[in-house]
Structures are given as C-alpha cells and as structure tokens.
C-alpha cells in the first residue's frame, strides 16, 4: 500500500516544541508522509516568550499550492492549524476546495487561544475567519477557549465548582453544538470529567455518538499539547481508527509525555518532552 500523504498547513516555530516540529515527527512515525505548508516562521512560539521573530508566509502559500496543483499531487488528508494572517483563512479554504477528493480527510485544528484568551498574533477578524474555515472540516479539535470562540459563548474553564455531572453535560452539549447538526466530528480537548483527569469529549459524525476519553493527569499546564493531540488524532484516523480510538491514543500519548516532562522539571515554554516516546506511536 502506498504511504498515505497529508498536507499540513501550520507554523514552524524554531524553539518551544509546537506545530510543525511536533506534527512532522508524529505523522512520520505513524506512517504518514507529511507535506508541510508553513504559515509563518517564528523563532519561538508565542506562549510566554518575549521578542520572538515572526516571518509571515502568506504570499508563499498560494504559490506553493499552485506548484503542487501543477504536479497533480493528491492528499489523503489536509490538516490545518496555526495561521499567520487573516488572508490565510481564504487561502487555506481555497486549498481545501482545490485539493479535497471524495475520500480526503479534512482536519481543522482551529488554533486561536487558550485559557479564555486569544494568542498574541490572533485578531478578532482571524478568529471569526477560523469559524468559517472550520465549516469545511470533517473533524475539528478545539480546546475549551476555541470552542467558546466558535460558538460565540463565554469561556468557562473545566476546573473549579466540582460539579462534574454538570461539567459532563455541558461538555457533551458543546461537542454536539460544535458538530453543526451532526455534520462534522468534534474532539473537544481539555475536557475534564473528574478531578485529576483530563481528555477529550468526542462527537463522532459517523455514528452520531458522543463519548468522553479521559486519562489521569498531573495538574500542570504544558505548552503544545493541543498540536500533539490533533497530530496523533489525524495519524490515527488516517490509519483507519475510529474517532474515539484515535482520540484515546492521543490522550494516552500526551499523558505519558506529560509525566516525563514534569519529572524532568522542564519549563512550561519548552513544551512537552515527547521525542523519546515517539516509538509508542509506531505500533
């Protein structure tokens, strides 16, 4: 069988482990050929570093896409993440329309923010555009902040309150609302159903079912886990896993990486120390 191929539209941040520095090794070890279209080159990610450089690649994206079109390249998956400008919303939407085949899996990770706030480089217009882009997806992977932005609701964190029954009902309702009447699958990340656990609330458009996937988690914020989640999920779906299986794998992998990272006492900005554990994903 030929190696399946994914076009990945995400940024390249030199230091701090996120986006393409996570997506490429993860997809590769899962047996997927990753073809990156970098939306921007940054010296570091934007979460907690000051003075990072930012090279906007907006002009380059349609040029690279046109070249790929002239080569008649086909992709089994198109996966988008962090975008570098408002104009990139339409460019990525055009890319999806141009390259999507009948069996292409389109994953939009609507990267916009965390902890109730947009990332430094995201404008309100970009966030509104991300909601339009997400409409083209088969699967979306928002965190709770991004889900609130997409639904036009106030952000409500999972922690606190202690009423986990209410949390669970709320997370289920959010995942289903994000599916737009069951049209697309949703893996809502950062969904905690019990103290000391976190994971994802998944609505699977194929089955119409909503299921939670959880793992025990050390209470410690880590950078770049959302990109790992969406990458492992995409790799799993491309291998034929169900949404729940693929999300389960992603949550388990992040759990193992988080334990390792916390044990080493790495700073939050350095991201998740995932490289030594990549072999787990090869199986």
Q: Which residues bind ligand PXL (CB under 6 A)?
A: 11, 13, 18-19, 42, 45-47, 82, 111, 119, 224, 226-227
Q: Which is nearer to ligand PXL, 111 or 174 (CB)?
A: 111
CB of 19 to ligand PXL, least distance (A): 4
Q: Which is nearer to ligand PXL, 46 or 234 (CB)?
A: 46
Q: For the packed helices 225-238 and 20-29, what is the interaxial angle rounded to 10 degrees?
A: 30
Q: Which is nearer to ligand PXL, 142 or 199 (CB)?
A: 142
Q: Which is nearer to ligand PXL, 24 or 167 (CB)?
A: 24
Q: Give, in degrees to the nearest 5, the angle at Cα 129 between 182 and 191.
A: 50
CB of 16 to ligand PXL, least distance (A): 8
**Mind spelling out the 3-state secondary structure of 124-161?**
HHHHHHHHHHHCCCCEECCCHHHHHHHHCCCCCCCCCC
* Tokens representing residue 250 in the block: 């992603």
Q: Which is nearer to ligand PXL, 142 or 224 (CB)?
A: 224
- Residue 208's SS3 state is coil
Per-residue burial over 138-167, b = 16 or more CB atoms within 10 Å of its CB, e = otherwise? bbbbbbbbbbbbbeeeebeebeeeeeeeeb
Q: Which of 72, 134, 84 is nearest to 109 (CA)?
A: 134
CB of 156 to ligand PXL, least distance (A): 21
CB of 128 to ligand PXL, least distance (A): 19
Question: Left if phi > 0, otherwise alpha if psi is -120 to 50, otherwise beta: which for 147?
Answer: alpha
CB of 83 to ligand PXL, least distance (A): 9
* Tokens representing residue 121 in the block: 């480089």
Q: Which is nearer to ligand PXL, 166 or 220 (CB)?
A: 220
Handedness of CA 23, 149, 200, 209 (dihedral sign): negative
CB of 54 to ligand PXL, least distance (A): 8
CB of 111 to ligand PXL, least distance (A): 5
Q: Which is nearer to ligand PXL, 45 or 184 (CB)?
A: 45
Per-residue burial over 17-29, b = 16 or more CB atoms within 10 Å of its CB, e = otherwise? bbbbbbbbbbbbb
């Amino acid at each position: 069988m030929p190696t399946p191929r994914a076009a990945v539209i995400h940024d390249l941040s030199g230091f701090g482990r996120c986006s393409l520095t996570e997506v490429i090794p993860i997809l590769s070890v899962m047996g997927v050929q990753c073809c990156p279209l970098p939306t921007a080159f940054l010296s570091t990610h934007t979460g907690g570093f000051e003075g990072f450089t930012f090279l906007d690649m907006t002009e380059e994206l349609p040029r690279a896409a046109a070249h790929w079109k002239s080569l008649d390249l086909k992709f089994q998956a198109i996966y988008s993440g962090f975008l570098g400008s408002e104009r990139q919303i339409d460019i990525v939407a055009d890319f999806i329309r141009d390259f999507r085949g009948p069996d292409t899996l389109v994953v939009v990770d609507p990267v916009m923010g965390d902890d109730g706030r947009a990332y430094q480089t995201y404008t309100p217009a970009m966030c509104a555009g991300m909601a339009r882009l997400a409409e083209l997806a088969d699967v979306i992977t928002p965190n709770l902040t991004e889900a609130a932005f997409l639904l036009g609701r106030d952000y409500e964190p999972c922690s606190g309150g202690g009423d986990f029954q209410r949390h669970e009902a709320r997370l289920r309702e959010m995942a289903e609302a994000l599916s737009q009447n069951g049209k697309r699958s949703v893996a809502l990340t950062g969904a905690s159903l019990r103290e000391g656990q976190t994971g994802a609330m998944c609505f699977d458009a194929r089955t119409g079912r909503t299921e939670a996937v959880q793992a025990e988690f050390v209470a410690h914020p880590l950078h770049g886990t959302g990109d790992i989640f969406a990458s492992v999920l995409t790799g799993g779906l491309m291998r034929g896993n169900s949404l729940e299986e693929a999300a389960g794998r992603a949550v388990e992998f992040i759990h193992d990486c988080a334990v390792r990272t916390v044990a080493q006492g790495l700073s939050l900005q350095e991201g998740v120390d995932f490289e030594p554990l990549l072999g787990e994903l090869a199986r």
